[in-house]
Amino acid sequence: MLTLALESSAKAASAAVFEDERMLAFAIQNAGLTHSRTLLPMAEGLMRQLDRPLSALDRVAVSRGPGSFTGLRIGLAEAKGLCWALDIPAVGVSTLEAMAWGGPVLDGQMLCCCMDARRDQVYNALFTVEGGKPVRLTPDRAISVPELENELVARQEPWILLGDGAELCYNAMDRSLVTLFTAPEPLRVQNARGVGLAAMGKDAVPAGELLPVYLRLSQAERERLARMEKESIT
Amino acid sequence: MLILSFESSCDETAVAVVEDGRRVLADEIFSQVALHEIYGGVVPEIAARSHLEVISLLADRALEKAGVTRRDIDAVACTYAPGLIGAVLVGVNFAKSAALALGVPLIPVHHVRGHIAANYLAYPELEPPFVCLAISGGNTMLVDVRGYTDMSILGQTRDDAAGECFDKSARVLGLGYPGGKPIDDLSKRGDDRAYDLPRPTVNGGSPYDMSFSGLKTAVVNLAHHAEQTGEPLDKPGLAASLCRAVSEMLVGRTMDAAARLGYENIAVAGGVAANSRIRADFEAACQKAGKTLFVPPLRLCGDNAAMIGAQGYYEYLAGHTAGSDLNAYATMEL
């Protein structure tokens, strides 16, 4: 089964091609260029170098969030466009799960995946590793750093921090209460390899039905709800 | 040649199938108006989210309506600029991936060029050269259409678009969003001389340049003044006076341009072309000047993908295609 994996939820964009569980090719762009210019050419280039037509693809795996709203939509729109034209299904993968799969998956490790969500929050999920695979301990959520710190402390384990929020958490948390490590740079942030690996055990769905998981309302919706709440109190 | 076309620059998701730039086989539109209504205007993030949710389904429906399959598609066209960047990105990235996977050319289309091309769908006999006034919520420009892909801006608004002037005026009159139609409806019951509204002119630049912010402010001030003093506001009269002012600013310049260029044909395009006062004034002016007027039917005036497919055909003939690195842009020269 030939899978194209796409990742564009944060600063870097990457693409990978998998034959079943084996990664055949991988490309990444981390120069701050817009994903709209770089992601599809990477996918196109990988397939050309592999001497495989796009029509050989069986499915497309893609980060469905959380992450940069615009970044997610670029990846998802490309996945949907490819799947629509090729009439193949797609697999949506949690960005945080992809991050865990791309991290240091040594048995027994505790992985804390966190992306800087601004507004004093991180997008986060916790994983442990069993049999070389991440096992989910929490759902994906937007959580404040102190709240997350309490959870990590309560579990009484040393944690490896991943993601572009790793440093933020490392610096903000009280390391006399919880043992923290930041993952080494090459293993720290999500990429298309992690997306492809995380997609392995998952069922594909019709790509048209694939929806991003933003974990956050738009600013206009948030402000409107806050206004309504305020009005209902007064 | 069958072109599959996409439009997602604002709050309409649209997919169409157009043959040879002139014949519409399918023209699917999902309007998000209901999603934005409660905010009194288009919320870019909500628009972008909605585009992504419906675009695959609309593409399916377009093929079904056209009675064709993916294999029948010869090229893919999409609006790549100008527009709300998050919204345009969805259409561009879906379209270019589909073109790549189908193995067909990708044609980027300027949104305003698309509006102008809506006239080719409505009028098989229309060919350049002609003068086109493109008026919508986001754009107001007078264009010299020398050829299908050879055009230049004769003049444009320095600030607000004509449609924006209607939207903001409608808001202060409590008419809701979008404002064009309610203002138009209300104006039909009013005296167009009830209020003496300004027709701002601009200094320097092109004689065809326009400004609508002063007119908008005048309406807003009248409404606020009435509210503060408790004086009655003649809303139908104000709506009629506004329509007359906007129309006079647009029609005069367009007729002057056509006369100076010696063009026989005058076209109007964009959502504001639906305004009945502007239509009527253009009809009268063209009849008087012996010019032929082209105004697309209402459905083709608003944002749609058929117009993108129409212009896409001529862009393709001119060799204007793009690769998989095509980006979307919030602003772009015509």
DSSP string of chain A? -EEEEEE-SSS-EEEEEEETTEEEEEEEE-SS--HHHHHHHHHHHHHHHTT--GGG--EEEEEEESS-HHHHHHHHHHHHHHHHHHT--EEEEEHHHHHHHTS---TT-EEEEEEE-STTEEEEEEEEEETTEEEESS--EEEEHHHHHHHHHHTTS-EEEESTTHHHHHHHS-TTTS-EEEPPGGGTS--HHHHHHHHTTSPPB-GGG-----SS--HHHHHHHHHHHHHHH-
Rounded CA-CA distance A207/A82 in Å is 9
Residue A153's pLDDT is what?
97
Neighbours of A51 (CB within 10 A): 7
Residue A233 has pLDDT above 80, yes or no: no
Residues 6+ apart with CB under 8 A from B322: B80, B96, B106, B107, B108
Domain boundaries, chain B: 2-115+301-317, 127-299
Q: Do domains A2-96+191-222 and A104-187 have the same CATH topology?
A: yes
Give chain A positions within 8 Å (CB) of B328. Answer: 36
Residue B39, chain A, CB below 8 Å: the answer is yes
Residue B123 has pLDDT above 70, yes or no: yes
Residue B103 has pLDDT above 90, yes or no: yes
Q: How many CB pairs under 8 A join A and B?
A: 112
Residue B156 has pLDDT above 90, yes or no: yes
Span A104-187 CATH architecture? 2-Layer Sandwich (3.30)
Rounded CA-CA distance B293/B272 in Å is 16
Record the pTM: 0.95
Tell me B270's DSSP state: S
- A25-35 per-position pLDDT tens digit: 999 999 988 99
Rounded CA-CA distance B251/B201 in Å is 14
Rounded CA-CA distance B88/B155 in Å is 25
What CATH number labels A2-96+191-222? 3.30.420.40
- B253-311 per-position pLDDT tens digit: 999 999 999 999 999 999 999 999 999 999 999 999 999 999 999 999 999 999 999 99
The CATH number corresponding to B127-299 among 1.10.10.10, 3.30.1330.10, 3.40.920.10, 3.30.420.40 equals 3.30.420.40
**ipTM associated with this complex:** 0.96
Residue B138's pLDDT is what?
86
- B178-229 per-position pLDDT tens digit: 899 999 999 999 999 999 999 988 988 899 999 999 999 999 999 999 999 9
The answer to whether A187 touches A102, Cβ cutoff 8 Å, is: yes
**Is A37 in Cβ contact with B327 (below 8 Å)?**
yes
Q: Could you tell me the fold of the domain covering B2-115+301-317?
A: Nucleotidyltransferase; domain 5 (3.30.420)
**Is B97 in Cβ contact with A81 (below 8 Å)?**
yes
Q: Residue range B160-187: average pLDDT?
A: 93
Residue B137's pLDDT is what?
87
Domain boundaries, chain A: 2-96+191-222, 104-187
Q: Looking at the complex, report in whole angstroms how far the Cα of residue A8 sits from the nearest Cα belonging to chain B.
A: 13
Residue A45, chain B, CB below 8 Å: the answer is no
